[in-house]
Amino acid sequence: MASMDELRAIMARLRDPADGCPWDRVQDFSSIAPFTIEEAYEVADAIARGDRDALKDELGDLLFQVIFHAQMAQEEGAFDFGDVARGLRDKLVRRHPHVFGDADASDAEAVAASWEAIKREERRAGGQSADASALAGIAAGLPEWLRALKLQQRAARTGYDWPDPAPVLDKLREEMDEVEAEFAQGADPARLEDEIGDVLFVAVNLARHAEVDPGAALRRANAKFERRFRAMESLAAARGLAFDALDLSAQELLWREVKRAERAAAGG
């Protein structure tokens, strides 16, 4: 608690109108929000890399974002960090009646169902009863792949779901055929956006049925592409070649060489 008090005092000093930091003083909720999102992703990246020292640092950066927002709210007279902490405390107790009350929850699925039911009751109590949909309360500001996943999870709880991955694969092929047809008909940008959106939505659904985190899968794919691309650049440079001066076929040969080297290393 002493460390938290020190952090809050530092944040207040940074925002001091007379003696604070010029950058921190001029920020508002909207300008800080992108940094909050970025820090959350950096936490996820440290976890994916298994780097506990980095995780400690990134969690600190994310905590700083919470303190920053709470300080700005306190300056407005809206709420302060204590209100945030008390609200979280009450929510955790309220949403875990199987731990802090007499309710039963035998497994993680039962806990998730109870959590959603409690959230629906909270929305009704908060005057949000107009939206009775199973999809109510899914934030519009989520990354779209995550929002797609949450929409699908909510729909699945009502029984609206494919029974296994096979029909999802069929649907993915169908959507790819529709994208191909759009290209054949002249590639109208609006139609292509619509059809490619369908492909991405179904791809998230396939990941869900495979019990694969689509965000983690995409991070892994990004890391693999970056690793291989950098290796191609290094190979070209070692041979006295400028990578961007090579034609696509020559670049593709380097890509295949890098893949073979990776497989050989993994097999060895």
Q: Which of the two residues, 247 and 117, has the higher pLDDT score? A: 247
The answer to whether residues 256 and 231 touch, using CB atoms and an 8 Å cutoff, is no
CA dist., res. 233 & res. 226, Å (int) = 11
Is the pLDDT reported for residue 249 higher than 70?
yes
Per residue in 181-205, pLDDT tens? 999 998 789 999 999 999 999 999 9
Q: What's the mean per-residue pLDDT of the chain?
A: 92
Query: First CA to last CA across the chain, in angstroms?
Result: 51
CATH class of 133-212: mainly alpha
Q: Name the CATH code of domain 2-91 (choices 2.40.30.10, 3.40.50.2300, 1.20.1250.20, 1.10.287.1080).
A: 1.10.287.1080
pLDDT for 268: 55
Residue found under tokens 């949000």: 128
Residue found under tokens 């109870």: 114
Tokens of 231: 């290796």
Dihedral of alpha carbons 11, 12, 15, 21, sign:
negative
74: phi then psi, degrees, rounded to nearest 5: -65, -40
pTM over 0.85: no
DSSP symbol at 106: -
CA dist., res. 65 & res. 81, Å (int) = 11
Per residue in 52-111, pLDDT tens? 999 999 999 999 999 999 999 999 999 999 999 999 999 999 999 999 998 888 888 888
Per residue in 59-74, pLDDT tens? 999 999 999 999 999 9
pLDDT for 186: 85
36: phi then psi, degrees, rounded to nearest 5: -60, -45
Is the pLDDT reported for residue 23 higher than 60?
yes
Per residue in 211-248, pLDDT tens? 999 988 998 899 999 999 999 999 999 999 999 999 99
Q: How confident is the model at residue 120 (pLDDT cuts 50, 70, 90)?
A: confident
